[in-house]
Amino acid sequence: MTGGNGCRPAERPEAAAARLTRRRTTALRRLSGAMTEVVLDGGDVVVVKRGNGPNATRAEAAGLRWLAAAGAVRVPAVHGQDEDWLVIDRVEERQPTPAAAERLGRELAALHDCGAPAFGAPPPGGPADAWIGLAPLANVPGASWPQWYAERRVLPYLRRAVDEGTIDRAEAATVERVCRRLPELAGPAEPPARLHGDLWNGNVLWGSDGNAWLIDPAAHGGHRETDLAMLQLFGCPHLDRVLAGYQQVHPLADGWADRTGLHQLFPLLVHTVLFGGGYARQAVAAARSALAL
């Protein structure tokens, strides 16, 4: 999910690719309203993305570079970026395999272990005001994960959902109880992990090289269980092998599976403010499951 607006209305994707890579373009194929596949002189294929919010391309580029710097996961290389456009490698896809899924789990554990300066810390060079999908995301550092998670990830989206009438006051009170009890519900304290931050299945590409590639990060410092909870939220091929690979490298704290709903509160509330009702019901159910721990 990554977001912005403000592209040069007269500039076409192939022109942006040529300008940012300093290479001539020879062909293009529209992938969506915001993305175009462009062939550069010499045969290299890139994806040109148009930002859909202030700082959107800057945040995504900084996130990709931060994840790449860990040397743990595969992400598309950034070939150019400005306030309007981002140019990255195209990933050629094929069907996922159990071996690739298990390898992804090991790589995610290694990525998380690379750490972050603080919970909520943005990637180096990345903006504090970023995006997750089309929703704003505030990367403001905090020292305590329970307090930071409540104040910066759960409550802002809950308030917006209440203001828009998607969640009623009684339902909101359930989520607020979770926030008050977070210190006791969160499990053992852990250091800030280097998160992808928007790790749903659509942001995992299974490459033709036999490896998983991660795209569209909302990268920040956070709790490592959050990435894994998001990966479980909308389904992921061979998820059992992903989790098994993760446990081989850095076993999760006891009770992690019971805390999945707690970590899913954030993406479910984001989806509530973006897409409405069905996600609101899921968010409240996740809050109730967290309170039952």
Question: Does 44 qualify as catalytic in the annotation?
Answer: no
- 161-165: long-range contacts (C-beta < 8 A, 24 or more apart)? 161/269, 161/272, 161/273, 161/280, 161/283, 164/273
The C-alpha atoms of residue 67 and residue 114 are separated, in whole angstroms, by 9
- Residue 69 CB: number of other CB atoms within 10 A? 13
Residues 83, 58 contacting (CB under 8 angstroms): yes
- Only one residue has tokens 């002189």, namely 41
Q: Alpha carbon of 278 to those of 61, 210, 273, 285: distances in Å?
A: 32, 35, 11, 11
Name the token pair of 63: 């996130």
Residues 229, 201 contacting (CB under 8 angstroms): no
Q: What share of the chain is helix, strand, coil (3-state, %, to 5)?
A: 45, 20, 35
Please give the distance of CA 91 from its chain centroid, rounded to a whole number. 18
The C-alpha atoms of residue 241 and residue 95 are separated, in whole angstroms, by 15
Give every CB contact of residue 165 below 8 A, 6+ residues apart in sequence.
Answer: none
Query: Strand (E) positions, 41-132?
Result: 45-50, 78-81, 85-89, 129-132
Catalytic residue among 84, 198, 216, 227: 198
Tell me which residues are annotated as active site.
198
